[in-house]
Chains A and B, each alone.
Chain A
Amino acid sequence: MSEKRKKILEVKHLKQYFNVGKLDEVKAVDDITFDVYEGETFGLVGESGSGKTTTGRSIIHLYEPTDGSILFEGKDISKLKTKKDFLDFRREMQMIFQDPYASLNPRMKIKDIVAEGIDIHHLAKDDAERSKMVEDLLETVGLNRDHSSRYPHEFSGGQRQRIGIARALAVKPKFIIADEPISALDVSIQAQVVNLLKDLQREHGLTYLFIAHDLSMVKYISDRIGVMHYGKLLEVGTADEVYAHPLHDYTASLISAVPVPDPEYERNRKQIPYDSSGEQDHPDNPRKLREIVPGHFVRCTEDEVAGYRQKAETYEQKA
């Protein structure tokens, strides 16, 4: 079904290396390929250092990719040259950051923070329209209209994250990258922010790239999930498939480590260890994402496909 939908973002063989050519070269993102369809939420999960945040930053062009290409609505973003190109691009794509304490300028009033995009893109004719837009945005994200002349320190973490969301929405983007938007928040507030993101998606037809390490929350919000490890994308599939029928050993290990708020389950939990030594690449038999069952991809060699197919079949038989 998803095949028919329009691809809004295509990441092709993206490589993002740091300190290239030096002794401490880091392959933060190493040849990853995935698509994001219009209107969906694509969840990118992985442990710290897996390259998920770097991927997000490369997509919004905060880094110049080492190799590979990123196509947004069919246009290669590394071909953007002029200031106007970038303005247009960033009007379409916005970002929500992890730390709501560090991502708002403490010296700016809320209305100026939220209106920064409006000002840059000249979206408001006059001051009155600008204020109206800001106040509408605050209301959209569940804050009070009167809050616009306050400063960030007057707000709690959850409220600040709402301000960050209002700022991203101000330019009416199509695509939002949310980099760990809830991991700094309390449990009861996390659910509020996630529900807000879901509601906004429905109302505005947004597409999300949702980056997080919290698997259960990613599974809840995402339509499809990509699992990253050491800069590589190991498994891609629908959220339900990946979570219920993990094919790659690393995914299974990651899921088995997630604590579940159920003492009965926890008493019987067996953590699956993961050994990454089997992942060594051979030049004549390269590993890449291969489709095992429709819509469910695993990074493997040609020879391993059969084994994974069998694994997928056993899952099906159990179900």
Chain B
Amino acid sequence: MAERILDVKNLKIDFHTYAGDVKAIRDVSFHLDKGETLAIVGESGSGKSVTTKSLMGLLANNAEVTGGSIMFHDQDILKKSEKEMQNIRGKDIAMIFQDPMTSLDPTMRIGQQIAEPLIKHKHVNKKKAWAQALELMKLVGITDAEERIRNYPHQFSGGQRQRIVIAIALVCYPEILIADEPTTALDVTIQAQILELMKELQEKIDTSIIFITHDLGVVAGMADRVAVMYAGQIVEYGTVDEIFFNPQHPYTWGLLNSMPTLSSTKLEAIPGTPPDLLDPPKGDPFVARNPYAMKIDAEQRPPFFKVSETHYAATWLLHPDAPKVTPPDEIIRRRQTFKDIMAHEAI
């Protein structure tokens, strides 16, 4: 079995605001194995970015962790002081942010920005650090690296800047790389290049990736496993094939159904908007937008029902006593593909 390097258990995070406490993360558990890519998917406000910020110890001042643990190997990240976190951040756990325009220091040469983590964490001298920075710039595909190493961020395009951000994140060979919407600000052709680069580098340095995105297309190409978040909770998780071809939660159905495919004639939008987390719903958070909702969905939060060893979904529809429902056509089509894949694997 793969080595487990991160284990998040029953994480709860509140934000204190003038209007009251926003319950942003409500009992979230997941794990990450060595070398794998876990994608966390969800809409804005679902809590995916807050979750990863808590892994980095980068929560805002008005945030409070009200429960749970984040075990990185055998240490709880939530119990670390800021000083201890500074030794982990950038070295063991590194992060790539969404906007390559604002995540670089405009007044610092690129070489210095890439070399900085080495000098700080690995106590390498400046000359060696710059040499390694140069190697890495070549690795992430910056042409004329020898000259460009002395350039400033504004001299690079958006795609190149994101390559540099990736170089900075990887320079200490982190065990975990958190990528928070790393390609959302980029054009599709550049996005494809960056995603390809991330996959290549992951193999080379054997890092695990937590990939945060709302783009299901990107998830399908990048992830080994997927966790679907909604209103501060994980509602379903499983392998990428299980989530895309055999989804169980009506929210996952809705997400897959609202993406245009080559053959779609009418998009099935999910009606309504996500709930207000100042006063989160008692039961299944998706109840108000769920055409398959039952009475119990409004009253009691569903537990995770096991679909397979790796696939769990928090929906009452999986309860043995639940009525059988017919999912949307698109989901039935996808399940057929799943059967084909399974049959193929069995041979």
Mark A residues whose CB is within 8 Å of B: 47-48, 156-159, 186-192, 194-195, 213, 215-217, 219-220, 243-244, 253-254, 256-266, 269, 271, 274
> Which of A188, A257, A259, A260 has the largest count of B CB atoms less than 10 A from its CB?
A188
11 A–B contact pairs at CB < 8 A? A47-B189, A189-B43, A190-B258, A191-B259, A192-B270, A213-B188, A254-B189, A261-B256, A261-B261, A262-B244, A264-B241
Which B residues from 252 to 271 make CB contacts under 8 A with A? 254-256, 258-262, 264, 266-271
Nearest CB of chain B from residue A76's CB, rounded to whole Å: 34
Nearest CB of chain A from residue B189's CB, rounded to whole Å: 5
- Tell me if A216 and B221 are in contact (CB < 8 A): no
Given contacts A188-B43, A195-B266, contact A216 B259 (CB under 8 A): yes
- Tell me if A48 and B187 are in contact (CB < 8 A): yes
B323 at the A interface (CB under 8 A): no
Q: A48 CA to B158 CA in the complex, in Å? A: 11
- Tell me if B255 and A188 are in contact (CB < 8 A): yes
Query: Which listed residue (B43, B195, B245) contacts A263, Cβ 8 A?
Result: B245
- Tell me if B188 and A265 are in contact (CB < 8 A): no
- Tell me if A257 and B267 are in contact (CB < 8 A): no
Given contacts A195-B266, A220-B267, contact A186 B192 (CB under 8 A): no
- Tell me if A263 and B217 are in contact (CB < 8 A): no
Q: A258 CA to B187 CA in the complex, in Å? A: 10
B200 at the A interface (CB under 8 A): no
Query: Which listed residue (B189, B192, B258) contacts A191, Cβ 8 A?
Result: B258
Given contacts A187-B43, A188-B255, contact A259 B218 (CB under 8 A): yes
Q: A257 CA to B269 CA in the complex, in Å? A: 25
Residues from chain A with a CB closer than 8 A to the CB of B241 are 263-264
- Tell me if A217 and B255 are in contact (CB < 8 A): no
Nearest CB of chain B from residue A218's CB, rounded to whole Å: 9
- Tell me if B244 and A261 are in contact (CB < 8 A): yes
Q: Which 4 residue pairs across A and B have the least CB separation, nearest first?
A: A259-B217, A191-B269, A266-B221, A191-B258
Residues from chain A with a CB closer than 8 A to the CB of B215 are 187, 259
Interface of A is mostly: helix
Residues from chain A with a CB closer than 8 A to the CB of B219 are 261
Residues from chain A with a CB closer than 8 A to the CB of B221 are 259, 263, 266, 269
> Which of A191, A195, A213, A264 has the largest count of B CB atoms less than 10 A from its CB?
A191
- Tell me if A257 and B188 are in contact (CB < 8 A): yes
| Nearest A residue (CB) for B185 | A48
Query: Which listed residue (A191, A217, A257, A265) contacts B220, Cβ 8 A?
Result: A265
Q: A264 CA to B334 CA in the complex, in Å? A: 11
Given contacts A188-B270, A191-B270, A269-B221, contact A261 B189 (CB under 8 A): no
Residues from chain B with a CB closer than 8 A to the CB of A186 are 43-44, 214
Given contacts A263-B220, A264-B245, A264-B337, 8 further A-B contacts (CB under 8 A): A47-B188, A187-B214, A187-B259, A188-B258, A190-B258, A191-B270, A262-B261, A274-B189
Interface string of B326-347 (1 = CB under 8 A from A): 0000000000010001000000
Residues from chain B with a CB closer than 8 A to the CB of A216 are 217, 259-262
Residues from chain A with a CB closer than 8 A to the CB of B216 are 187, 261
B191 at the A interface (CB under 8 A): yes
Q: A244 CA to B261 CA in the complex, in Å? A: 12
- Tell me if A195 and B269 are in contact (CB < 8 A): yes
Which B residues from 173 to 203 make CB contacts under 8 A with A? 187-192, 195-196
Query: Which listed residue (A158, A191, A257) contacts B191, Cβ 8 A?
Result: A257
- Tell me if B192 and A257 are in contact (CB < 8 A): yes
Query: Which listed residue (B220, B258, B270, B273) contacts A259, Cβ 8 A?
Result: B220
Residues from chain A with a CB closer than 8 A to the CB of B43 are 186-189
Q: A256 CA to B57 CA in the complex, in Å? A: 38
- Tell me if B255 and A187 are in contact (CB < 8 A): yes
B240 at the A interface (CB under 8 A): yes
> Which of B192, B256, B337 has the largest count of A CB atoms less than 10 A from its CB?
B192
| Nearest B residue (CB) for A259 | B217
Q: A274 CA to B196 CA in the complex, in Å? A: 16
Q: A296 CA to B201 CA in the complex, in Å? A: 41
Nearest CB of chain B from residue A110's CB, rounded to whole Å: 17
> Which of B214, B244, B266, B267 has the largest count of A CB atoms less than 10 A from its CB?
B267
